[in-house]
Amino acid sequence: MSGPYRERIGTLAERPEPFIPVPGKRSGAGDLPGAWDGWLERASGGETAHPMTDAAVLTEGLERSFGSKMAVAGVDLSVDPGEIYGFLGPNGAGKSTMVRMLCTLLRPTGGRAHVAGYDVGREAEEVRLRIGVALQDAALDDKQTGRELLRLQGRLYGLRRRQIDRRVADLAELVDIGDALDDRVATYSGGMKRRLDLAAALVHNPTVLFLDEPTTGLDPVSRSKVWDEVRRLNAELGMTIFLTTQYLEEADQLAGRVGIISGGRLVAEGTPDHLKRSIGEDLVVIEVAGDPAVAAQVVGNVTGVSSVSFSNRAVTARTADGAATVAPVAVALSGAGVGVRNLTLRTPTLDDVFLELTGNRIEEDA
């Protein structure tokens, strides 16, 4: 932990004292979401627990069903302390359900999960003390100011008034909302709301931070700001970060390791490079004017093309030597009377990995 950022955030690195909230000091706790009700008392009254594992997140056969729908269908994963782990999947894949279980907001219907070493079911209070969460739909009160929200959060964690003041100032600078701190949340842009929610999740200096689609709906500038904060929290405070995303680029750029989830199952896991290398070959992507099924057949017969797939508009051919295959593909299509709108040669992306594993693309237009 060093560098200008570490100095700038000052107190953030030190865990506040008293860290376990004091029973009875529940001013403002009436605003807690239901699932948190009463946790302060339980957290400070229980026996001293000991972490069961060194892993920051560890799940075994973790499941959650809603009626007959299996939202998370048996997930095994292990995230080391200090990792940025990207949980990548399309709409409805089970990302939020997974996060809500890991954050003790939703009971698993099968399997086990430990977060920061503690069981999310039996030791939920221990887990809650050690995690920060920014959910997909930040439930911020429009009538509060940013400062009020952060102060409330500090009180909920049992921080003293002076600690709260210092921390609010540090956090506001950290997420770059200093100027707007005393404005009502209603006046914040989408990106500012996300960053305020992130600051609120950091008040008690969690060891594991969960971010559910932290940049969905943000413009590119706001997105890269959030990415920068995530990188800094990880690099300079050593915070473990578990983030879900449906953006390939986000997983690729930000995560040390990526787990790809589809239909509630983890279908692949590894570093972005490792996952992309598993596709192994060059890709020739052809946007055609006519029927892609016909074009795919033509391309599939070209020497050097090892396999071919197609979606609404584009045909994708895999080949060991892209440079040598582009011209024959173009000639074959022209010979068959298929119009070509665009032809590109590229290396695999995480979307190609997803396509290979599931038959679908994450990003429809990728």
State the binding partner of 297 from ligand ATP, Mg ion, none, CB within 5 to 8 A by kind. Answer: none
Pick between residue 30 and residue 34 the one whose CB is nearest to ligand ATP. Answer: 34
Residue 262 contact, options Mg ion, ligand ATP, none, Cβ 5-8 Å cut-off depending on partner type? none
Cis peptide before 214 (omega within 30 of 0): no
* Inter-residue contact 59 to 108 (CB < 8 Å): no
Find the binder of Mg ion among 59, 96, 245, 309 (CB under 5 A).
96
If contact means CB under 5 to 8 A according to the sort of partner, which of Mg ion, ligand ATP, none does residue 246 touch? ligand ATP
Exposed, middle or buried by CB within 10 Å (0-12, 13-18, 19+), for 316?
buried
- Closest distance to ligand ATP from the beta carbon of 67 (Å): 7
Q: Say whether residue 215 binds Mg ion (CB under 5 A).
A: no
Min separation Cβ 126 and ligand ATP, Å = 24
Integer CA distances (angstroms), 22 to 156, 190, 205, 366, in order: 10, 34, 18, 51
With CB under 5 to 8 Å by kind, the binding choice for 238 among ligand ATP, Mg ion, none is none
- Close Cβ partners of 162 (under 8 Å, ≥ 6 residues apart): none
Stretch that binds Mg ion, among 31-39, 131-139, 246-254, 306-314 (CB under 5 A): 131-139
Whether residue 345 contacts residue 326, with contact meaning beta carbons closer than 8 Å, is answered with yes
Strand order in the sheet with 257-262: 131-134, 208-212, 240-245, 84-88, 257-262, 265-270
- The pairing of strands 282-288 and 340-346 is antiparallel
* Residue nearer to Mg ion on the CB measure, 43 or 105: 105
The kind and range of the H/E element at 115 are strand 110-115
- The two three-digit tokens of residue 248, written as one number: 């390939």
216 binds Mg ion, rule: CB under 5 A:
no
User: Judged by CB under 5 A, which of 44, 136, 297, 311 binds Mg ion?
Assistant: 136
Q: Which is nearer to Mg ion, 135 or 317 (CB)?
A: 135
Output 95 or 114, the one with its CB closest to ligand ATP.
95
Contact residues for ligand ATP, defined by CB under 6 A:
66, 69, 71, 89, 91-97, 136, 246
316 counts as binding Mg ion under rule CB under 5 A: no
Residue 212 vs 356, nearer CB to Mg ion: 212
Rg (CA), the chain: 24
* From Mg ion, ligand ATP, none, interface partner of 91 (C-beta below 5 to 8 A by class): ligand ATP
**Number of other residues whose CB lies within 10 A of the CB of residue 267:** 16
CB closer to ligand ATP, 66 vs 293: 66
Please identify, using beta-carbon distances, which residue of 64 and 128 lies nearer to ligand ATP: 64
In contact, 252 and 348? CB cutoff 8 Å: no
If contact means CB under 5 to 8 A according to the sort of partner, which of Mg ion, ligand ATP, none does residue 92 touch? ligand ATP
CA distances from 65 to 51, 59, 95, 245 (A): 27, 16, 13, 21
CB of 93 to ligand ATP, least distance (A): 4
What does the binding site for Mg ion look like in residue numbers (CB under 5 A)?
95-96, 136
